[in-house]
Every structure is written in C-alpha cells, then in structure tokens.
Amino acid sequence: LPWNKDFIGNLYKYKGCWYYPNTLQGVLNFEKGFKPQETDIILASFPKSGTTWLKALTIALFERLKNSNSSSDDDLHPLQSDNPHGIVPFFEFNLYLKSSTPDLTKFSSPRVFSTHMPFHTLRLTLKDSPCKIVYVCRNVKDVFVSLWYFRCAHLEKEVDMKSLFESLCEGVGSFGPFWEHVLSYWRGSLEDPKQILFMRYEEMKSEPSAQVKRLAEFLGCPFTEEEEEDGSVDKIVELCSLRNLSGMEVNNSGKTFNTVPYFTFFRKGEVGDFKNHLTPEMENKIDMIIEEKYKGSGLKF
C-alpha cells in the first residue's frame, strides 16, 4: 500500500474493512469463539467518535440500579476504580486478541462489551441474537482531528496531518472506510431499531440529559419519575463529563492494550474543533466525499 508509512503501519483488508494484523487476529478469534447471550449489550463505534463517553454512561446507568438496591454508599464507584475501557473491554483488542475462548465468567448479565468492527462483520457472529447494540457516530471532520492527536500522542511525535487526511479520504485506516462503518450501523438501525440504537456525539453534547434518557430506555433501565425529579439524570451526565472523568486519578495512570495511556482518551471533547485544523480545501474535499457516500441513505450531519 502507498500508505504503509510509519504513521499508518501495515493494514489488511478483511470483509471490506482495514485492520492492523493484531486486531485482525482478534476479529478472527472473536468470529470463531464468541457466543452471544440474549441480554448482551455491545457498544460500537468508529475510533474517536465518543466510545469512552458511551462506555462511561452505560456503566453509570447500570451502576445506579445496583446502588438503589444496596444500602452501602461507601463503595467506590466503578468509574473511580477503573477506566471505562478497563470495565467495558473491546472484543478485538482485549478479550479475543490472543484466544478464541477467553474466560468471560467475570461478566454478569447484562454483559457489556465493545467493538470497532463494522456491523456487517459483527452481525455474522451475532446471527439471530436479540442482543442490543449502541452505536455512537461523530462528524468525520472532528473524528479526523481527534485521530490525529491520538496518533501523535502514541507515536510521541507529530504525524503528518496531510498524509493522514489523504488516507482517511481514500478510506484507508484502521477500521476504515469511515463512511462504510457508519452506514453499516445506520442501515442496521433502520432495519431493526429495537436492536441498534444510533447515537450522535453532537446530540450527546447539545442535549446530554435527553440522550442519556434515550440510552437508558433503550438499555431497558429507564429513569423512574422519582429519579427524574431528584436529579439522577443530571448526576450521571456530570459524573461522565469529560471534565470529571479526565480529572479522576484512575484515568491519569494506567494503559489499555498495555500501550495506550488512558489519559489520551480525553482531550477537548468539542464539536467543531476541525475548524481550528482543516483548511477550506480539506473541508471541501471531505464534505464532497461524505455527500456522495451518504447520498440516498437518509443520514445527514
């Protein structure tokens, strides 16, 4: 590939999607060994679309049910003892990276997992399972900027932004092409809205309480009237805010996949940061690609 430069590395295409070799092995192991349970919940996304936030919200929503059943307020909240990626692992990076038969006994029902695999790949393994999928998508321009910062942080050097941009436009990059990823879940959510909840980072930012309620309802743990009145929704929004999570000690030490420092998952968390980074030409190019790729899908930003 012409993109096999140090900022991209070697990529392999499998079922229309690009993967790094290790990740692809994780996907193959997952396909071989994963047996879904009806109550499973899978949090899915393209990288840098709000995965960490979605994980934190889901953890907090279920944790509040436990708290209302227990008398002890002294226990540390799971979000204070571990990073969201430590609590909700990825199939392909964590659980199935080395084996097709990982020990999943520590997960109690509902088991919550996550993935960056596109839906057309995931669904082959889920078969007819009614398990629930939540997909979070984000404007590709902000995804790109976030990805660039993330890549620079890992490589500990400044990656050439133009080259990364061109590779994204070509659809080449880990879990790319971006638009096929988004469209696979978008179409899936139209086909079966009971199975896939399609969320948008931008809406989570502009109306967090409404989106958290929507998520809770979809996950089968809606807020009670009493909870709505006592401010429980706002408490979860605040607990999972970027400011709060990024200030927690647990998110300032430790790494996921043994190499990625947890703090690099928290940066600015803004909508439209691309305006500070993309030239008008870059914006125009990506706008045209997106318009063409999403044409007729009903998906708009």
Task: Tell me which residues are annotated as active site.
Answer: 116
Show the binding pattern over residues 6-45: x = contacts ligand A3P (CB under 6 A), - = does not.
---------------------------------------x
Give the tokens for residue 65: 């049910």
Residue 248, CA atoms < 13 Å, CB-side half-sphere = 23
3-class SS of residue 221: coil
- 180 vs 273 by CB, closer to ligand A3P: 273
Given 142, 178, 188, 219, the residue binding ligand A3P (CB under 6 A)? 142
Applying CB under 6 A, among 214, 241, 248, 301 the residue interacting with ligand A3P is 241
Q: Is 115 in the site for ligand A3P (CB under 6 A)?
A: no
**149 binding ligand A3P? (CB under 6 A):** yes
The reply on whether position 59 binds ligand A3P by CB under 6 A is no
Q: CB 128 → ligand A3P: shortest distance, Å?
A: 29
Is 52 a binder of ligand A3P (CB under 6 A)? yes
Distances in Å between the alpha carbon of 84 and those of 45, 51, 214, 220, 250? Answer: 14, 9, 20, 20, 10
Strand-pair category, 132-137 with 196-200? parallel
What's the rounded Cα separation, in Å, for the pair 178 and 173? 9
User: By CB under 6 A, is residue 173 in contact with ligand A3P?
Assistant: no
Residue 240 as a binder of ligand A3P (CB under 6 A): the answer is yes
Residue of 23, 29, 49, 58 interacting with ligand A3P (CB under 6 A):
49
Residue 250, judged by CB atoms within 10 A of its CB (0-12, 13-18, 19+), counts as middle
82 lines the binding site for ligand A3P (CB under 6 A): no
Select 33 or 86, whichever has its Cβ closest to ligand A3P: 86
Strand partners for 137: 200
Amino acid in position 280: P
